[in-house]
Amino acid sequence: MEKEKQPFDFDYIIIGSGFGGSVSALRLSEKGYKVIVIEKGKWLRAEDFPKTNWNVKKWIWLPTLKFFGLFKITLFKHITVLSGVGVGGGSLVYANTLPVPKSEFFTAETWTHLADWKNELKDFYPIALKMLGASLNPRLEKGDLALKELAKKIGKLDEFEATEVAVFFGEPNKIVPDPYFNGNGPDRSGCTFCGGCMVGCRFNAKNTLDKNYLYFAQKNGVKIQAESEVYDVLPLDSINGSTGYKVMWKSSTSFLKSKGEFKSRGIIFAGGVLGTIKLLLKLKRTSLPNLSDKLGSGIRTNSESLIGVTTFEKDTAFSDGVAIGSILHTDQHSHLEPVRYPSGSGFWRILMSPLAHGKNIFVRLAKVVYDIISHPVKNFKIYFVSDWAKRTQILLFMRTIDSTLNFRKGIFGMKSSLEKGQGPTAFIQEAKTLSEEYAKIVNGKTTVLLSETALGIPTTAHILGGAVMGKDKTEGVIDKDNNVFGYENMLICDGSMISANPGVNPSLTITALSERAMSKIKKIN
């Protein structure tokens, strides 16, 4: 993009401040571009984060009730999606883990014909790991040690390992000069191992995006405008955007709903699947009709299963440590991780029920009733345990099965439909078997979200796809370099670009792919 004398407010407008948006902001500013990042959520500081998730007004994003927290729950017919909101996007609530996917991800048939992805990304994963401050978790807590015992029990001890996480493991509560960027970054404080990573780190230890990519982007002059939701993007004077774009935004938190607009040469959509796909599905009917008909296709999850294991041992604390401190690779396609919340964060308990599989809701509910009647004391102890988060280990099971959904615009937002393969399911037998074995080790009992038991709708924190790559617009929404088919100077850099199932936490891969996309953009002459 050549710098020209035109009445533009910015060279690039980036919609969203998560992993893709933050990478884009920094790298474009380094190349001399004038950039603004527009973020729907709030700019949250340490004091804004809730101490526990019972403080739902600080935890949940639900603007209709004036809840402006960092965590959002979105319900669809096929899945329930957990996501982050705020400056820094998903980095505010994710569990810090930064795994590189296995080779099957890079060679998946959905995108292997576009590039040699393992080779294409080999230089960008290390950059992403460095920028995000990846470190090996130095402490295995009770939940991790129990997973290690499970690994030994099933003959997979060699497949158990501590996680690489985006956390500063300095001296707890001691403020020190920036340890990552030769002292040029913000001061930091060491991890307290409180388990609070997913409700917002209040101790300046988690390497959220405002402490790396966004921090340096701001130093380079990037403007970050929070509490603003983009509702329209219009090409200027030409249908393909070659002469620039006008972006319309409105307040996402104010009663008055103040509005504004900016003009730019280029646009980068980086609002995640729930933000980018929802907006583009709307705009395809109006101001961006050239968008591919593949928009909304290829929606994936990591085929997760989330199962809670509550122990009856009063001296056991699962809440100590980082959010995810270890991982067990149960086979070539599947992984199991222990996930923790901080002590006192027992909000999820009100939504839990006994674990039950069955072919329909009547069978499952009958099994739940039978479980309650058969084990009244155990169920009473689990439900009324004094500190649910402290005594409950959540097990996250993920696998690389490649089934996809389709998102389309509905009356009240987006609606999902099954596109390919087996639909997402809450009933994964391997996850059930592993969690029950884990429960034996910790002297506990398994539970799951009632929505999963009753409706069979699984919960995911890893929603991907919807603007996948293709050789042309008949196959995808963007090309292999993230350029949107049908428009100039328009890119998508977020989870919606992911074109295969990574089977593991995707944040690192989103970062690496965004680094690669930005490397293709020329510096200003």
DSSP SS3 for 277: helix
Alpha-carbon distance of 358 to 369, in angstroms, equals 13
Tokens 């991907």 sit at which residue?
464
Sign of CA dihedral 396, 397, 401, 405: negative
Tokens 């099954």 sit at which residue?
418
Q: Is 462 a catalytic residue?
A: yes
Residue 59's nearest CA partner among 346, 464, 275 is: 346
| Rg of the chain in Å (alpha carbons) | 23
Bridging pattern class, strands 10-15 and 35-38: parallel
The stretches of 375-428 forming alpha helices (DSSP H) are: 376-383, 388-391
Residue 170's nearest CA partner among 125, 221, 135, 124 is: 135
DSSP SS3 for 141: coil
CB 303 within 8 A of CB 496: no
Residue 406's nearest CA partner among 420, 392, 385 is: 420
CB 157 within 8 A of CB 151: yes
Q: Of 78, 329, 335, 462, which is the active-site residue? A: 462
Alpha-carbon distance of 499 to 470, in angstroms, equals 9
Tell me which residues are annotated as active site: 462
